[in-house]
Amino acid sequence: MKEQPSQSLPANAYLNLDPRTKLFLLLIISTIMISGEIRGMALYARLVLAAIPFVLLILGRRAKAAAIYAILFAAAWLAEAFLIYNTKGIANIVIVMLSGLISRFVPCVIMGYYTISTTRVSEFLAAMERMRFPRNITIPIAVMFRFFPTIAEESHSIDNAMKMRGIGARSFVGNPAVALEYRLVPLLMSVVKIGDELSASALTRGLGGPEKRTNVCKIGFGAWDATFASLAVSAAVFYFVSLGG
Amino acid sequence: MSNKLNTKDLINIGIFTAIYFAVFYVTGMIGYIPICEVLVPLLLPLVTGIPFMLFLTKIDKFGMVTIMGIIVSLILFATGHSWLVMAVGIPCAVIADLILKSGEYKSWRKIIVGFCIFSEWIMGAMLPMWIMRDAYFDRIRAGYGDEYTDTLMSLMSGWMIAVMALMVVVGGIAGAYIGRSTLKRHFERAGIA
C-alpha cells in the first residue's frame, strides 16, 4: 500500500472498471454490509457482496491484499456464526466488537481501497463530469482522495520521527492533549505545504481554466461493468426481499 | 476580489476536508468500544478544532464551509449511514457558513458559534438511534447479540439526544479554543496561518 495509488495504475491489471461502476459498487456494498443483518437468507446476499471486492482485487493483480482480506473476513464470519451465541460477559463483548467490526467494515474499506487505488484522478474527474456533477464538489473530492495516501504517509513519518526521539505512546498516557498537538501540528504543516504545491501544479496544468476540460482517459461501461453491477444489484434485491419475507 | 470560488479555494477545501475526515475517522473508531460510543459527540469537535481553525484562516468567501459539510455527509452516506446524516449535515453546514460569513470568518464569537453548529452534523449520524429506534436496535441485536444491545439501549434513552447535542457544543467551544491557541503557538509563527 506504499505506492502512490491515485497516480499509478498497474498496467497489467486484468480488468479496469469504469469509475462510476466502482462508486456504485461501493455504495451498495457499504449500505448492505454495514447494515449488518445476518438472519436467514440475507446471509448469502452478504457473502456475495463481500466476495465482489475480493474478485476485483484478484483481477486488479492485488493478490496480497486479496489474501489478507479473505483471511480476515473468513475469521470474523466464523466467529459471528459460532462464537457469539455461545459466549457471555466480557468475552462476548470483545468477540462481538471485533468480528462485527471486521465483517461489516472491512469489505467496505477494501472496496474503498480498490476504488481509490485503481482510479486515476483524471478518470474520476472525467466520470464525474459525465454525471454532470458541479466542479465545486468534484474538485475537492478528487483532491481529497489524492490526499488520503499523503496523510497516511506523512503521519507514518511523524510517528517514526517521534519514536526516534523516544516519544512513544507511553508518553501520552497522562496527557492526551499533548498527543493531539504532537501529531496534528506537524501533520497539518506538511500537508498544507504539499497542498500549496499541488495547487500550483494543478493551476499550471490548467485546472482553473474557464474552458471545458478535455480528457484523454477513456471511460465507459463494458461487459464487466454490467456483470458486476447486476451481480451487486441482484444481491441487494435478494437481501431486501429476504428481509421482508 | 471576486466572490466566486477559484480553483485554489477548491483545492484548499479538498485538503482540509481530507484532514478533517481522517481525524474524524480515527476518533470515530473509539465509538466502537461499547461505552465510548456516547463520547464521540464530545470528542469529534474537540479534536477537529485545530484543522478547522486553520481552515478558517484560508477562507474569505461564502461556500467553502458549505462544500466541506456536503462532502463529509456525502461520504458518510456513501459508507453506509442513513440519509439522515445528509438531512442534518448539509443544513448545519449552510447555517454555520452563513454565521461565519457574517463575521467575515474572523469574528471570534461567530467562529465559536459557527464551529459548534457545523459540528452538530454528527447528530445526523446518531439520530437513527432515536428516530428509527426499533429498526435500529433490532438490527444491532441480530448482529451484535443481546448483551451489547441492552447496554447500548439503556444508555441511549430519549433525553440522551439533548445531552449529546449539548456535548457537541461543549466539545466545540473547547475545540475552538484549543484550535486557536495551537494556531497562535505554531502556525502563525511558521507563517502558515
| A201: closest chain B residue by CA | B8
Q: Three-class SS of residue A9? A: coil
What pLDDT, on the 0 to 100 scale, is given for residue A37? 60
Mean pLDDT for A231-236 is 90
Considering only the beta carbons, identify the residue of A31, A35, A89 that sits closest to B139: A35
Kindly report the nearest CA distance between residue A223 and chain B, in angstroms. 25
What is the Cα–Cα distance from B45 to B36, expressed in whole angstroms?
15
- Whole-number pLDDT of residue B161: 83
Average pLDDT of span A184-203: 87
Residues 6+ apart with CB under 8 A from A49: A28, A29, A32, A33, A107, A232, A235, A236
Average pLDDT, chain B: 84
Contact A208 B70 (CB under 8 A): no
- Which positions ≥6 away from A83 have C-beta within 8 Å? A95, A99
Q: Indicate if the pLDDT at residue A121 is higher than 50.
A: yes
Surface of B (40-59) touching A: CB under 8 A: 47, 50-51, 54
A127 has a pLDDT exceeding 80: yes
Share of chain A above pLDDT 70, in %: 85
**Cβ contact, residue pair A184, B51, below 8 Å:** yes
pLDDT band, residue B66 (cuts 50/70/90): very high
- In this complex, the residue of B17, B23, B182 whose CB is nearest that of residue A140 is B17
If contacts are CB pairs under 8 Å, which of residues 82-121 in chain B contact chain A?
Answer: none
* Among A33, A108, A143, beta carbon nearest to B11: A143
Residue pair B50/A180 in contact by the 8 Å Cβ criterion = yes
Question: Is the pLDDT higher at A214 or at A140?
Answer: A140
Select from A9, A80, A78, A17 the least CA-distant residue to A52.
A17
Contact B67/A at CB under 8 A: yes
Q: Is B83 exposed, middle or buried (0-12, 13-18, 19+ CB in 10 A)?
A: exposed
> Could you tell me which of B42, B88, B91 has the C-alpha nearest to residue B65?
B91
**pLDDT > 70? residue B2:** no
Tell me the per-residue pLDDT of B87-115, one tens digit each, with 9 for 90 and over. 899 999 999 999 999 988 888 999 999 99
CB atoms under 10 Å from CB of A207, counted, come to 20
pLDDT at A71: 92
Strands (E) in A90-166, as ranges, are: none
| Measured distance CA(B61)–CA(B58) in Å, rounded | 9
Give the whole-angstrom CA distance, residue A106 versus residue A100: 10
Helix (H/G/I), strand (E/B), else coil: B6 = coil
Residues of B in contact with A49 (CB under 8 A): none
Place of cell 446471509: A43
Query: What pLDDT, on the 0 to 100 scale, is given for residue B86?
Result: 87
Kindly state the average pLDDT of the residues A150-167.
87
pLDDT at A2: 42
Distances in Å between the alpha carbon of A183 and those of A186, B20, B193? 6, 14, 18
Closest-CA distance, B158 to chain A, in angstroms, reads: 23
Q: From the CA of B38, how many Å to the nearest CA of chain A?
A: 16
B18 touches chain A (CB under 8 A): yes
Q: State the average pLDDT over residues A40-56.
A: 84
Q: Does A30 touch chain B (CB under 8 A)?
A: yes
CA B144 to chain A, closest CA, distance in angstroms equals 6
Question: Of A22, A191, A217, A8, whose CA–CA distance to A117 is shortest?
Answer: A8
**The model scores a pTM over 0.80:** no
Q: Is B90 helix (H, G, I), strand (E, B) or coil?
A: helix
Least confident among A6-15, A225-234, B183-192:
A6-15
Which residues of chain B does A137 touch, with a Cβ-Cβ cutoff of 8 Å? Answer: 67, 70-71, 74
Provide the 10 A C-beta neighbour count for residue A230: 10
Among candidates B14, B63, B143 on the partner chain, residue whose Cβ is nearest the Cβ of A143: B14
Instruction: State whether B144 and A192 contact (CB < 8 Å).
Output: no
**What does the pLDDT average to over A158-170?**
81
User: pLDDT for B123-171, tens place per residue?
Assistant: 888 887 777 777 777 767 766 667 777 777 777 777 788 888 899 999 9
A207 or B180: whose pLDDT is higher?
A: B180
User: b/e for B34-68, b at 16 or more Cβ within 10 A?
Assistant: beebbbbbbbbbbbbbbbbbbbbebbeebbbbbbb
Percent of chain A at pLDDT > 90 equals 11
CA B161, distance to chain mean position in Å, is: 16
Closest CA relative to residue B45, chosen from B67, B28, B65, B62: B28
Residue B7 DSSP one-character state: H
**CA-based radius of gyration for chain B:** 17
DSSP assignment letter at A133: -
